[in-house]
Amino acid sequence: MDFKEVVNTRRAVNLFDPEKSVEQSILRELVETAASAPSGFNFQPWSLIVLEDKEEKLRLQKHAMDQPKVSQAPVCLILLADTQGWMAGNRFADRNFDEMVKTGAMREEKRDWFNNLCQSLYGTDRETGVAFACKNTSFFAMTLMLAARDMGLHTHPMDGFDKKGVKDEFNIPDRYWVSMLIALGYFPEGGHMPEPKWRKTYDEIFVNFNP
């Protein structure tokens, strides 16, 4: 599929073939492709909980407005966005700094300066941490959904769920924002694929707040 076909054939589908599972190798390829998404300073604050077991998916569904696709799709992903993914002491944040030093992009003596910079960008209050975590995790999510389409699968992103309910149900630590759920699988043969929905036009997308 060329890129435009991938983009134009993606839909948030409500139907999944419950008989057709997603091979582990396909899931791995999807996640590895999604991991190439960009992120601020390359912090990559995304993590996944993968649900394939019917009972587990039903445990999630009860917190997700009982949306049937959560359990009908062979795979449902819980996307976690780490609000502290930039913070010194965080395993991946520390590794990220080390990698920058290794490649010559940063000098070791800049560590405190860099940590302070990140603190001022992402750590001033809960909102900046959530924005950091969610915007970056959304790039991961979009890349995953496009990769899925490219590989013949379909997806449905969801934020219609009770965040606290999901966090409690799956023991998710407080520093994570549950950014979305993604149902993943194959569209059933003979199922009705919805038409593309309306979109803002080119002109409607631009704004200008000059007086």
Ligand X SMILES: Cc1cc2nc3c(=O)[nH]c(=O)nc-3n(C[C@H](O)[C@H](O)[C@H](O)COP(=O)(O)O)c2cc1C
60-79: contacts with ligand X (CB under 6 A):
67
Nearer to ligand X, 17 or 162 (CB): 162
Residue written as token pair 């979009």: 142
Residues binding ligand X: number (CB under 6 A)? 9
**Separation between Cα atoms, residue 202 and residue 169, nearest integer Å:** 42
What's the min distance (Å) between Cβ of 110 and ligand X? 36
3-state secondary structure of 100: helix
What's the min distance (Å) between Cβ of 159 and ligand X? 4
**Separation between Cα atoms, residue 172 and residue 150, nearest integer Å:** 31
Q: Which of 25, 197, 201, 204 binds ligand X (CB under 6 A)?
A: 197
What residue number has its CB nearest to ligand X?
160
Q: Is 12 in the site for ligand X (CB under 6 A)?
A: yes
Which residues, 6+ apart, have CB-to-CB distance to 30 below 8 Å? 144, 147, 148, 151, 153, 184
Nearest to 111 by CA among 130, 84, 82, 87: 87
106-165: contacts with ligand X (CB under 6 A):
157-160
What's the min distance (Å) between Cβ of 113 and ligand X? 35
- Contact of 69 with 183, CB cutoff 8 Å: yes
Q: Is 180 in the site for ligand X (CB under 6 A)?
A: yes
Which residues would be at the binding site for ligand X (CB under 6 A)?
11-12, 67, 157-160, 180, 197
